[in-house]
């Protein structure tokens, strides 16, 4: 029996059940090609095979994700993950290889620090998309603006105010990993027992933020190209760090493609202003296009809602409709005994490499 009373009751029951079977339990702290690193409850770390055959033989529907609480047992000379505890607070996107699959980027997170660098132009549509993913996964979204030392305080304050309006009340913090300014605002998200994940593009300052919060030299830091402010992938694996405040911080490779999966509720939560007015439309299934009695279009005409924001809202729902259609087509093919075609071949259990450029739907 484990004795640490800081774990939630359902997780404690998972530990007790797995230990009763003679297994060891711990948390996935690194996800890389070939192996997962599991930190056991006694603090030691062990490698577990990440092959497709390994997780399928254990009856798992998908590969474990960084942040997962798992049970492991020895399989010959190596350990294998044989059970995964129920997740809460996940970051899920559509597989970037264009397969109709969900990809869990991080699991069991309380907050997601959505990182944007102030050394580049902020794209509202990108911010909205990130907030949709976080809302849908059940974690708390927090916008973190890095490199605040590069702008005048007045310019930083203007961007913060703009994003607070865009996020509908989401917390926005401007910080500098170099000077340490503003980092104290992030302490509540990393308190004992809490896990925060970083989500952002390459070059946004995630690795520098990890080093500022978890300790120096925890993550490699790369240069940013001056011509387009893009950074190289200095983070090549998903990794969980323990922070001095007692919590955990998950760093992920720069994610340029953020395709939506089951995120209809996330869209409505991120666009709460549009969704609330949509309740007053004449038709429940109003698409806010040419339908009569559309309250949302009236709000746009009155200047209550920005036309570009409505276009983004409609575009995200259209994207989800397309994903649903692909899922249904895949189910039909499987029902007929045929495998759906794959546009690009990648090992399902591997850690993905993101594309060099953002997809057209990410603004």
Q: Is the domain of 302 the same as that of 331?
A: yes
Residues 242 and 108 in one domain: yes
The DSSP element (H or E) to which 37 belongs, if any, is strand 35-40
> Does one domain contain both 152 and 111?
yes
Distance of CA 140 to the CA centre of its chain: 11
Whole-number pLDDT of residue 330:
66
| Claim to verify: residue 192 and residue 135 sit in the same structural domain | yes
* pLDDT tens per residue across span 237-278: 889 999 998 999 999 886 766 777 676 788 888 999 999 999
CA distance linking residue 186 with residue 184, whole number of Å = 5
In whole angstroms, what is the distance from residue 26 CA to residue 42 CA? 9
**Residue 58 domain-assigned (yes or no):** yes
Q: What is the mean pLDDT of residues 177-190?
A: 95
**Residue 59 falls within a domain, yes or no?**
yes
End-of-domain residue from the set 251, 280, 307: 251
Q: Is 277 found in the same domain as 238?
A: no
Q: Is 256 a member of any domain?
A: no
Q: Assess if residue 343 is contained within a domain.
A: no
Here the CATH number for the domain that contains residue 155 is: 3.40.50.300
Dihedral sign computed on CA atoms, order 331, 337, 343, 349: positive
pLDDT of residue 102: 74
Both 225 and 279 in one domain: the answer is: no
Looking at residues 328-354, what average pLDDT do you find?
Answer: 53
The alpha helices in the chain, defined as continuous H runs, are: 9-20, 52-57, 124-137, 153-167, 206-214, 264-270, 272-278, 295-301, 307-335
> Residue 238's domain spans which residues?
91-251
Q: Which DSSP string do the residues of 274-311 spell out, in sequence order?
A: HHHHHTTSSSTT--SSS-TT-HHHHHHHTTSS-HHHHH
Residues 74 and 221 in one domain: no
| Same-domain status, 168 and 313 | no
Residue corresponding to tokens 């001056």 = 226
CA 261, CA 266: separation in Å to the nearest integer? Answer: 10
Considering the domain architecture, whether residues 76 and 101 belong to the same structural domain is answered as no
**Residue 355 included in any domain:** no
Q: What is the CATH number of the domain that holds 289?
A: 1.10.40.50
Q: How many distinct structural domains can be found in the chain?
A: 3
299-337 pLDDT, tens digit each: 999 999 999 999 999 989 888 888 878 777 766 666 655
Q: Are residues 242 and 283 in the same domain?
A: no
Residues 240, 107 share a domain: yes
pLDDT value at residue 161? 95
Q: What is the 3-state secondary structure (H, E, C) of 199-247?
A: ECCCCCCHHHHHHHHHCCCCCCCCCECCCCCCECCCCCCEEEEECCCEC
């Amino acid at each position: 029996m484990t004795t640490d009373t800081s774990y939630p009751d359902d997780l404690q029951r998972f530990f007790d059940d797995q230990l009763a079977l003679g297994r060891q339990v711990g948390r996935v702290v690194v996800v890389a090609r070939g192996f997962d690193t599991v930190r056991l409850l006694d603090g030691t770390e062990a490698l577990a095979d990440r092959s497709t055959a390994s997780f399928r033989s254990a009856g798992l529907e998908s590969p474990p994700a960084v942040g997962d609480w798992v049970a492991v047992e020895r399989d010959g000379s190596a350990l294998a993950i044989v059970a995964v505890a129920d997740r809460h607070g996940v970051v899920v996107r559509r597989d970037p290889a264009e397969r109709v699959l969900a990809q869990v980027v991080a699991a069991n997170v309380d907050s997601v620090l959505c990182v944007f660098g102030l050394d580049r132009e902020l794209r509202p549509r990108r911010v909205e998309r990130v907030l949709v993913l976080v809302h849908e996964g059940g974690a708390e979204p927090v916008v973190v603006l890095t490199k605040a030392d590069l702008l005048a305080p007045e310019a930083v304050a203007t961007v913060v105010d703009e994003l607070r309006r865009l996020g509908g009340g989401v917390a926005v913090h401007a910080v500098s990993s170099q000077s340490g300014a503003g980092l104290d605002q992030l302490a509540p998200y990393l308190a004992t027992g809490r896990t925060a994940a970083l989500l952002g593009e390459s070059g946004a300052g995630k690795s520098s933020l990890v080093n500022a919060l978890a300790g120096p030299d925890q993550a490699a830091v790369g240069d940013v190209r001056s011509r387009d402010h893009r950074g190289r992938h200095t983070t090549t694996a998903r990794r969980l760090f323990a922070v001095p405040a007692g919590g955990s911080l998950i760093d992920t490779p720069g994610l340029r493609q953020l395709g939506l999966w089951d995120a209809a509720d996330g869209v409505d939560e991120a666009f709460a202003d549009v969704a609330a007015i949509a309740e007053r439309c004449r038709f429940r299934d109003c698409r806010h296009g040419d339908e009569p009695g559309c309250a949302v279009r009236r709000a746009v005409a009155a200047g209550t809602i920005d036309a570009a924001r409505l276009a983004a809202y409609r575009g995200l729902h259209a994207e989800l409709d397309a994903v649903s259609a692909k899922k249904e087509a895949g189910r039909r093919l499987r029902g007929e005994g045929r495998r759906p075609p794959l546009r690009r071949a990648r090992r399902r259990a591997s850690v993905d490499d993101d594309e060099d450029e953002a997809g057209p739907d990410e603004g």
